[in-house]
Amino acid sequence: MKPDLSNALVAAKTLLGWRLMHDSPLGLTVGYIVETEAYSSDDAASHSFQGITQRTKIMFGPAGHLYVYFTYGMHHCINVVTGPKGNGQAVLIRALQPTLGQELMAARRQRTNQLELMNGPGKLTQAMGINGEHNGEMLLSQGPIRLLSGLTPKHITQTTRIGISHARDEPWRFYITDNTFVSKR
DNA sequence: GTCCTGATCCTCT
DNA sequence: GAGGATCAGGACG
């Protein structure tokens, strides 16, 4: 079973309720995807807007790969590449609900509050042990980081994206309604 | 709860 | 050289 990654907007909604798994040397961590943002090819807020660069070339590759970038001098964020090859779309994973490996997540995060393990894009990469080494990983095969089917959310809330200065009025952020593990309501 | 700030460095112009 | 798809902690109320 594979998610519909034909375009970023569809994929951002589809991926809610899917699980992200990382089978690392230290142990297994898994969480439900509860919050996403879509970044399209003609989107001024997208890293791909300026065209292919060393950093963004993964975004222009085939769908289903992991795009990892480093921001604010200290945080990694992860995206699922979507759309046709050469188009430059992706879905940012903003929050996960922990389901397996909470002890390892807590150790990596130096936090024990379950709600604060992965309720933000920088937090979840730290909790899951994902960094720049994983840029380009294939998520739909038997690699160390994978997408697994999960639940179908009852209700989805659509709203504007967080932390951007361009295209800030576009309602391209999605989260599972009433889920307590999202980054912000 | 809200607001403000410092930390810290990669990427592209 | 500027800016960034962030986070945590402190001040304040």
**From the CA of A29, how many Å to the C1' of B12?**
34
Residue A104 is encoded by which pair of tokens? Answer: 């390892």
Backbone phi, psi, residue A18, to 5°: -70, 160
For nucleotide B9, the protein residue with its alpha carbon nearest to C1' is: A73
State the sign of the Cα–Cα–Cα–Cα dihedral A171, A173, A174, A177: negative
Enter the DSSP assignment of A117: S
Instruction: Give strand letter and number of the nucleotide nearest A57 (CA to C1').
Output: B11
Q: Does residue A16 contact residue A153 with C-beta atoms inside 8 Å?
A: yes
Residue nearest B12 (alpha carbon to C1'): A53
**Cβ atoms of residues A89 and A5 within 8 Å:** no
Q: Are A62 and A90 in contact (CB under 8 A)?
A: no
Distance A152 CA to B5 C1' (A): 40
**How confident is the prediction along chain A (185 residues), in pLDDT tens digits per residue?**
899 999 999 999 999 999 999 999 999 999 999 999 999 999 999 999 999 999 999 999 999 999 999 999 999 999 999 999 999 999 999 999 999 999 999 999 999 999 999 999 999 999 999 999 999 999 999 999 999 999 999 999 999 999 999 999 999 999 999 999 999 88
Do A74 and A147 touch, CB atoms closer than 8 A? no
Contact A59, A128 (CB under 8 A): no
